[in-house]
């Protein structure tokens, strides 16, 4: 197992044990060495989200979206973070941005979820 994989495993174990601060420290250390490690960024953003550190989560998820604009899991993470902050207009804008960038075949499930959310936001069924 590589050093990166070992660090990710340790961080995951710490998160599962409820040690978010320690996990975030490990992830930030990993990101100093490998700034674009998407797994570390996703775990870090999720940890911030779970700890209600929503501004930090938003910054991490925005970075992932910039790195890979058509990735559904990154878009959903950013959408949920914006929504939880009460920023529904910006969350809706993230839906529109994702829909224009996404590969319609590989991201069909996310697109379908976003269509349903859009209908709910508009008051439809």
Q: Tens digits of per-residue pLDDT, 37-86?
A: 999 999 999 999 999 999 999 999 999 999 999 999 999 999 999 999 99
Claim to verify: residue 6 and residue 37 sit in the same structural domain: yes
Q: What is the CATH number of the domain that holds 65?
A: 1.25.40
Helices and strands of the chain, counted as H and E runs = 7, 0
Claim to verify: residue 67 and residue 108 sit in the same structural domain: yes
Half-sphere exposure of 38 (CA within 13 A, CB side): 10
| pLDDT, tens digit, 9 for 90 and up, residues 85-112 | 999 999 999 999 999 999 999 999 999 9
Domains in the chain, number: 2
Claim to verify: residue 40 and residue 59 sit in the same structural domain: no
pLDDT band at 4 (very low <50, low <70, confident <90, very high): very high
Claim to verify: residue 1 and residue 46 sit in the same structural domain: yes
Claim to verify: residue 40 and residue 73 sit in the same structural domain: no
Closest CA to 111 of 81, 77, 74, 72: 72
Identify each DSSP E strand in 69-116 by its residue range.
none
The dihedral over CA atoms of 14, 16, 20, 26, expressed in degrees to the nearest 10, equals 30
For 37, phi then psi, to 5°, come to -70, 105
Domain carrying residue 15: 1-51
Claim to verify: residue 43 and residue 60 sit in the same structural domain: no
């Amino acid at each position: 197992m590589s050093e990166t994989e070992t660090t990710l495993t340790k961080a995951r174990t710490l998160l599962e044990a409820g040690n978010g601060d320690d996990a975030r420290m490990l992830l930030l250390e990993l990101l100093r060495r490998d700034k674009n490690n998407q797994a570390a960024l996703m775990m870090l953003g999720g940890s911030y989200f779970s700890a209600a550190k929503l501004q930090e989560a938003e910054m991490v998820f925005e970075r992932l979206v910039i790195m890979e604009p058509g990735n559904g899991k990154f878009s959903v993470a950013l959408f949920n973070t914006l929504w939880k902050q009460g920023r529904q207009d910006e969350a809706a804008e993230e839906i529109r941005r994702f829909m224009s960038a996404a590969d319609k075949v590989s991201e069909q499930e996310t697109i379908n979820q976003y269509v349903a959310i859009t209908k709910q936001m508009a008051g439809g069924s």
